Amino acid sequence: MTEPQTERSAIPVLTIDGPSGSGKGTICRHVARRLGWHYLDSGALYRAVGIAASWNDIDLSDASALVRCTFDTTIDFQEGDDEPRVIVNGMDATDELRTETAGAAASAIAAIPEVRAALKDAQRAYRRPPGLVADGRDMGTVIFPDAAHKVFLTASAEERAERRHKQLSEKGVSVTLPGLLREILARDARDANRAVAPLRPADDAVSIDTTGLSIEAVVERVLALMPAR
Ligand SMILES: Nc1ncnc2c1ncn2[C@@H]1O[C@H](COP(=O)(O)OP(=O)(O)O)[C@@H](O)[C@H]1O
Ligand SMILES: Nc1ccn([C@H]2C[C@H](O)[C@@H](COP(=O)(O)OP(=O)(O)O)O2)c(=O)n1
């Protein structure tokens, strides 16, 4: 006899949305590990499509080619001790994926409604037992609107730029702080002002301003929101 399938809507989800550098990826990975739940980095999917487009010389203004590229791109996450490796069309694209160029390309293609629609089912397929922690811009509003736990992380733009500067410097990527701040503000504006699935807190999300808070403090605050899990 086969195992009874868990009804997908019965699988618990914690969504963590917010702007660039608010700490979504870091907090999600810690919380997912503590809960023993799966983790979805939805931004990596948009970044992967952007990278596949650049590998195929597709212009970011060519919406129909980008939609075809979204359907043609394969994305796999390989779990390890540290950050998961992201394999795009069979190639390890982890380092290229984290650059600000990839972030800006992802933000541009993420404004195309058909690209978002093409990634919807793939994102929902990550909802597997015993639970999912989902990181992005529209996790609580569009992809998992029925999630029992929703968080919106923020931090001042200056602190987010400093965090990203430190993160990239540690990886040997040379960037200037004023340049990063400009890029972050431009990305915030584009993600928040697009017509489809703009960056905004779900009505039932708890907002946490992480400015001046340690990673550990934010992890504890998030876990404290889920006493009945
Ligand atoms: N509360 C925090 N305090 C200090 N640094 C943080 C905090 N949260 C995240 N960071 C650091 O900021 C950087 C960006 O965090 P990240 O998780 O990549 O953000 P996002 O996924 O929202 O873009 C990482 O180097 C991370 O270690
Ligand atoms: N659920 C999502 C996730 C990311 N995006 C878009 C918008 C973002 O600027 C880019 C990159 O997202 P990502 O979460 O990887 O970026 P940060 O780590 O926050 O800098 O993708 C989106 O539109 N919807």
- Domain with residue 29: its CATH number is 3.40.50.300
Task: Say if 51 falls within a structural domain.
Answer: yes
Give residue 190's Cα distance to chain centre: 16
Measured in Å, residue 136 CA sits from the centre of ligand 2 at 6
The letter for the amino acid at 204 is D
Measured in Å, residue 43 CA sits from the centre of ligand 2 at 4
- 46 pocket-lining for ligand 2 (C-beta < 6 Å): yes
Distance (Å, rounded) from C-alpha 104 to C-alpha 43? Answer: 11
Q: In 3D, which of 147, 116, 139 has the Cα closest to residue 8? A: 147
Q: How many domains does the chain have?
A: 1
Read off the pTM.
Answer: 0.95
The letter for the amino acid at 53 is A
Q: Give the tens place of pLDDT for each residue, 75-115.
A: 999 987 677 899 999 999 999 998 889 999 999 999 999 99
Task: Say if 122 falls within a structural domain.
Answer: yes
Task: Say if 2 falls within a structural domain.
Answer: no
Tell me if 12 is assigned to a ligand binding site.
no
Q: Give the tens place of pLDDT for each residue, 137-155.
A: 999 999 999 999 999 999 9
Task: Say if 101 falls within a structural domain.
Answer: yes
DSSP state of 205: P
Distance (Å, rounded) from C-alpha 28 to C-alpha 33? Answer: 8
Q: Which range of residues forms the domain containing residue 159?
A: 13-224
Task: Say if 8 falls within a structural domain.
Answer: no
Complex-level ipTM:
0.97
Task: Say if 96 falls within a structural domain.
Answer: yes
Task: Say if 77 falls within a structural domain.
Answer: yes
Task: Say if 40 falls within a structural domain.
Answer: yes
